[in-house]
Structure 1
């Protein structure tokens, strides 16, 4: 596997885009053929060669296609088909960003993967997915700068309203503030805050908080060997009442118990190396 992550350098882009990432599976690679994509409150625009297939499975449904596509925010775990060599370039948007960018008339969309026409999205013929993918393979910083330039006109044409502004101000507080206290922080009722947040993200405050906690926990596990993990201490550190509570939570969200996951490491945070220390 070859991979990298970069953050936008243009402030106007960074307001909506959290990071760019690249992943290539070369012939002969022995990485996981069917990794899992853990729940994510953000949307990703995937840039891929026109003929390259994609396949995502969610419970009893699946999404198949070729080329560029959207992975919308999802509360469930996807199963990916990485059985063949591939290369993809991803644009990870911030939570709630797609609401302000009018990506689809049905925003917010959840638990869906759909085809994407990037030229139409950017309203520009300057985008060449073959060229940008070739640059991404060997020149990540140049690729980042090109993406910043391509995205800027589209991102300027945003739609900000009271709901998106309230949601953006709420998101940084979710990690440390009980959901029940958030309304008071913004001098509004809890119901008003919840309604705005759900309108923008498609998620409840508790759902988003839970997904963010899962990501932090997976990153914690990713950085440690199995013998280093104290499951009781981990449960308390991440706000679970006890170890059985933690095990039930992981089973319901990623389909594996804590020990099984720690041994398999088959989520995309492991496959992509999607941890903070890897980002430039």
Structure 2
């Protein structure tokens, strides 16, 4: 039986066609034991003649990221970090050449690998890998993550070797069985896939939890509240609609996504992306 394919949508990536024209972007599935907890691995390589800023409206996901900004063996030292859920627009400037290898966890899927702290402890933060995985602390006299871990993930040119290194890293650290994580993942997937879930009260009814218990579950295992997750997936869909249509029906989309009116959608979109929905869609249509 063939391995399942990773997701192919571009939700959350701002101007994805422009990004993909400048970098090599791939997704890969993790080892079978990891698939219940991870969305996918994502790999990016670039060699740019001039700097390029990338923008992402983050998913409600934790990422473990290995990165090298500069050529292999160059002066810039590779690093690894845990990137908690980003609350605003994430921007990264790419320059020269470099490589990033990331593991995107399913919302709710990170806690079984780093059970010592609630996932909300990482929200809005990018921290060195050893803060979540103390066994990767620096070797004596070396700043940052264990050099062997960085080299195993970032040195190979072959994608399969990088994926194998990511698999080995995570399988050595979990997952620890956690029924609450499974419940959190199921509920977030329900929000993502069911447009009728527009209010926290409805999600609480469907889950059989009180609103307070739902909030506690999301804080400990997702990292943000259920209302934030609902709003973020709305914005992802609005971005995707803008990319697919030069002149979307914003009023109709606002109603479809559960906004009280078009103005509310426009405010959320503009505050997060930095452009109004109309300006963003217009910019995508300019060659």
Say whether the fold is shared (TM-score over 0.5). yes
Q: Displacement, 1:253? A: 1.9
**Inter-partner Cα distance in structure 1 for 2:177 and 2:136:** 15
**Inter-partner Cα distance in structure 2 for 1:86 and 1:50:** 5
**Inter-partner Cα distance in structure 2 for 1:169 and 1:88:** 29
Q: What's the counterpart of residue 26 of structure 2?
A: 4
> CA contact under 8 A between 1:12 and 1:155: conserved in structure 2?
no
> CA contact under 8 A between 2:83 and 2:125: conserved in structure 1?
yes
**Inter-partner Cα distance in structure 2 for 1:258 and 1:50:** 32
Give the alignment's Cα RMSD to 1 decimal. Answer: 3.2
Q: What's the counterpart of residue 47 of structure 2?
A: 26
Q: What's the counterpart of residue 246 of structure 2?
A: 226
Higher relative contact order, structure no. (Cα contacts within 8 Å, ≥ 6 residues apart)? 1
| 1:93 counterpart = 2:105 | yes
From 109, 120, 141, the counterpart of 2:135: 120
Query: How many residues get paired?
Result: 244
| 1:110 counterpart = 2:127 | no
**Inter-partner Cα distance in structure 2 for 1:49 and 1:147:** 15
Q: What's the counterpart of residue 183 of structure 1?
A: 204
TM-score by length of 1: 0.73
> CA contact under 8 A between 1:4 and 1:22: conserved in structure 2?
yes
**Inter-partner Cα distance in structure 1 for 2:100 and 2:113:** 23
Q: Displacement, 1:102? A: 1.8
| 1:148 counterpart = 2:160 | no
* Greater than 4 Å deviation, 4+ residue runs: 124-128
Q: Displacement, 1:19? A: 0.6
SS at match of 1:194: helix
SS at match of 2:42: strand
Query: Once the two structures are superposed, what CA deviation does each residue of 1:126-158 show, in whole Å capped at 9, x if it has no partner?
Result: 9543343343x4x334533443244223123x2
Q: What's the counterpart of residue 269 of structure 2?
A: 250
> CA contact under 8 A between 1:119 and 1:125: conserved in structure 2?
no
> CA contact under 8 A between 2:65 and 2:83: conserved in structure 1?
yes
Residues 93, 127 of structure 1: alpha-carbon distance in 2 compared, 3 angstrom cutoff: farther
SS at match of 2:174: helix
Query: Once the two structures are superposed, what CA deviation does each residue of 1:56-82 show, in whole Å capped at 9, x if it has no partner?
Result: xxxxxxxxx962222111222223222
Q: Displacement, 1:86? A: 2.0
> CA contact under 8 A between 1:34 and 1:80: conserved in structure 2?
yes
> CA contact under 8 A between 1:119 and 1:127: conserved in structure 2?
no
Residues 232, 26 of structure 1: alpha-carbon distance in 2 compared, 3 angstrom cutoff: same
Q: Displacement, 1:47? A: 0.9
> CA contact under 8 A between 2:242 and 2:277: conserved in structure 1?
no
Q: What's the counterpart of residue 221 of structure 2?
A: 200
